[in-house]
């Protein structure tokens, strides 16, 4: 009898976890049509986070669809940023486009591929309309909100693009462009607000 009760309890826990983490469908069409907004962070004071210093580079806001998420626990970057979100806007927030792409994250990278002769939208548009973002939560409330984000949700984020440094010379600098790809193209975001739409 105990084995049956334990099995039922484990099954219920597994179902609840699946309910809380499974992707959501935000509906048809481009659900986050506008590109991110960015302005220079003039005169922004450095931000101390443990042994790290964050230099503000730009103020940053976006509304985007979560294409994928990846959590990290090990390495210097994980001390600052526990979660990366791959985000899409414009046609990269449209489920019919995303259905034709395979999207993966790992090792702080975001990868996309397609099995058809051509991608569903031009490659420069994929690059310009999506990004992998490394998030540094500004406080415990933002960290809790980030921990609950699921693939498929539409999120509104605001904060600062930053360059993170440490006295030993370690450095992690945000991209300031949406047109780049490859090494150094990710945004490093001091995340001050996050809302799920």
Tens-place pLDDT, residues 76-122: 999 999 999 999 999 999 999 999 999 999 899 999 999 999 999 99
pTM score, whole prediction = 0.86
Tens-place pLDDT, residues 33-74: 999 999 998 878 999 999 999 999 999 999 999 999 999 999
Q: Give the rounded percent of residues in the chain with a pLDDT score beyond 70.
A: 87
Whether the predicted pLDDT of 17 surpasses 70:
no
Residue 8 inside a domain? The answer is no
Residue 6 inside a domain? The answer is no
Residue 180 inside a domain? The answer is yes
Task: Name which of 5-9, 75-79, 95-99, 123-127 the model is least confident about.
Answer: 5-9
Residue 130 inside a domain? The answer is yes
**How far apart (Å, rounded) are the C-alpha atoms in residues 197 and 192?**
16
Residue 78 inside a domain? The answer is yes
pLDDT of residue 78: 94
Residue 158 inside a domain? The answer is yes
Which domain covers residue 165, as residue numbers? 26-196
Residue 15 inside a domain? The answer is no
Residue 190 inside a domain? The answer is yes
Per the structure, the count of domains in the chain is 1
CATH code of residue 91: 2.40.50.140
SS3 per-residue string spanning the chain? CHHHHHHHHHHHHHHHHHHHHCCCCCCCCECCCCCCEEEECCCCCCEEECCEEEEEEEEEEEEEEEEEEEECCCCHHHHHCCEEEEEECHHHHEHHHHCCCEEEEECCEEEEECCCCCCCCCHHHHHHCEEEEEEEECCHHHHHHHHCCCCCCEEEEEEEEEEEECCCCCEEECCCCCCCCCCCCCEEEEEEEEEEC
**How far apart (Å, rounded) are the C-alpha atoms in residues 110 and 103?**
7
**At 9, is the pLDDT very low, low, confident or very high (cuts 50, 70, 90)?**
very low
């Amino acid at each position: 009898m105990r084995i049956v009760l334990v099995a039922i309890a484990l099954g219920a826990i597994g179902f609840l976890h699946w309910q809380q983490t499974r992707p959501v469908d935000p509906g048809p069409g481009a659900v986050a049509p506008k590109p991110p907004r960015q302005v220079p962070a003039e005169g922004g004071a450095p931000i101390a986070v443990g042994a790290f210093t964050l230099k503000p580079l730009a103020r940053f806001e976006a509304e985007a669809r979560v294409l994928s998420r990846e959590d990290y626990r090990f390495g210097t970057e994980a001390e600052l940023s526990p979660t990366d979100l791959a985000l899409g806007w414009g046609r990269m927030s449209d489920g019919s486009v995303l259905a034709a792409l395979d999207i993966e994250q790992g090792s702080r990278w975001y990868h996309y591929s397609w099995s058809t002769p051509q991608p569903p939208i031009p490659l420069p548009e994929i690059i310009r309309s999506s990004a992998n973002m490394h998030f540094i939560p500004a406080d415990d409330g933002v960290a809790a909100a980030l921990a609950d984000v699921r693939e498929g949700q539409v999120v509104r984020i605001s904060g600062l693009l930053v360059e993170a440094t440490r006295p030993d010379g370690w450095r992690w600098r945000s991209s300031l462009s949406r047109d780049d790809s490859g090494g150094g193209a990710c945004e490093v975001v001091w995340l001050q607000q996050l809302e799920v739409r």
